Structure 1
């Protein structure tokens, strides 16, 4: 075998290993991110009862975020929107496959189930699974070459990462009845205390991350970091929470004050997800 042929064979083997590794990380990420929702009864019910136009809207609105995550933290390095679109399609495929297998094994779906219910239950779980598939690389480690290929994060990309973290934790708990129950039990003062606690913990994460990958530095004044990251991040968490609650119909039939209370309650885990995402990703 000539030297050129040997080099070509080595390159082909390296590409195959990278592909298998990337797909393995994607499946692992899909499982980690979707398993809590795959085993949640409210998510099963939403797959059956949720209005189909809201489900389609959630699916469509998740596409830009998945494209963003593919570019900055996908299971392989990409350098153009076509590569990102391809990886998002692969992530959706992995998400649909993993969700179908697990829902079947868990007895949530099976033969004889009507097609609309079957499709609804699979698709609603595929969204967080696709999110996890794209984050497989950051969840399960990177090679030295991949770390060198990482892109510098701008302020806008950091906000996008916080939105992704908010969406993940928001999807986890928004379908549960506990969100509404907690909001009913809390007083106005407790709601205000929860807002303050959310902001305090988010700001703590900013300093716990030691400004990793951030435009800010340890020398940045605390009030600047608070305004640019903590406050804006919390606003993003509330916006994501509001959209998720509306999508799942959790605002239906509630008064404005109660709906606002539910938003504050869900905003707490969404804010933690936004802050933690800057550490994880």
Structure 2
């Protein structure tokens, strides 16, 4: 009985952290005008694909950093579903308090607005489990993660971080203004800068949780296997988010590429941060 009580208490504490993380991490999007209108024009298929993609990422992130120490994919799946539910509840509550919903909005329309916000909120719920936890929780999590976060696991975490940060910028008009004013040479320089910053965040500047280079791996091998591949994931994630939001519809290939490069700058930073905090 005592053990069950301790487990329930740990879960409730983790759930409280999840709600805090959902609000803290997704607050900029809750108060972004462009996010309120996306649900009104996004194509249903793209919308459903994005929700599915977001839920899968929450499950993967939960495998490395769930509400409780995860014993496997079944627990991680449960944590991911709970994180999405936390994202739905926190999004619905705050958007209602902010008076975002139009007076004539239908239940289905309100749920679409809430569900779109629930993806970054749910990811914040998962990530906050570690970031808002105490030192004992972090040590336990690090021991659990150590045997799980292999090369492909690290790449998945980078993808999650790229999506999370890129999602905060993608719907804004400022991103489009930067795109139309950037020159091809500046776009190439921005790509190089993104890769270098990603590498620096993970291996160079000495942040807490910074990665150690794999045994026997020199600078070039590490740079190619993690930093360059990580940026490629951030770039692909940026293009996917822009396509989901309809930003790439009826635009030239060069403009679509430029938009992806611009969005990949914050997304690559998110990829680097994700490997530090998860």
- 1:230 has 2:227 as partner: yes
Inter-partner Cα distance in structure 2 for 1:237 and 1:145: 29
CA distance, structure 1, for counterparts of residue 207 and residue 95 of structure 2: 40
1:15 has 2:12 as partner: no
1:258 aligned residue: 255
Is the CA contact (8 Å cut-off) linking 2:130 and 2:138 kept in structure 1?
A: no
- Please give the root-mean-square deviation of Cα atoms over the aligned residues, in Å: 2.0
Instruction: Give the gaps of 5 or more residues in structure 1.
Output: 1-7
Counterpart CA distance in 1 for 2:193 and 2:154 is 22
Structure 2 unmatched ranges of 5 or more: none
Q: Which position in structure 1 is the counterpart of 2:73?
A: 81
In the alignment, is residue 182 of structure 1 matched against residue 178 of structure 2?
A: yes
Corresponding residue of 1:123? 115
Corresponding residue for 2:218?
221
Partner residue in 2 for 1:57: 49
Q: After TM superposition, which residue ranges in structure 1, 4 or more long, deviate above 3 angstroms?
A: 209-215, 217-220
1:168 to 164, 167, 181: 164
Aligned residue-pair number: 273
Q: CA deviation at 1:147?
A: 2.2
From the superposition, tell whether residues 230 and 211 of structure 1 become closer, same or farther in structure 2 (CA, over 3 Å): farther
In the alignment, is the contact (CA less than 8 A) between 1:70 and 1:134 conserved in 2? yes
Matched, 1:37 2:29: yes
Task: Give the TM-score, by structure 2 length.
Answer: 0.92
State which of 228, 231, 237 in structure 2 corresponds to 1:240: 237
Alignment of 1:278 with 2:269, yes or no, is no
User: Using the alignment, how far apart are the partners of 1:278 and 1:209 within structure 2?
Assistant: 13
Distance 1:83 1:218, change over 3 A: closer
Deviation at 1:127, TM superposition (A): 0.8
Counterparts of residues 205-216 of structure 1 (less than 5 Å): 205=201, 206-209=203-206, 212=209, 214=211, 216=213
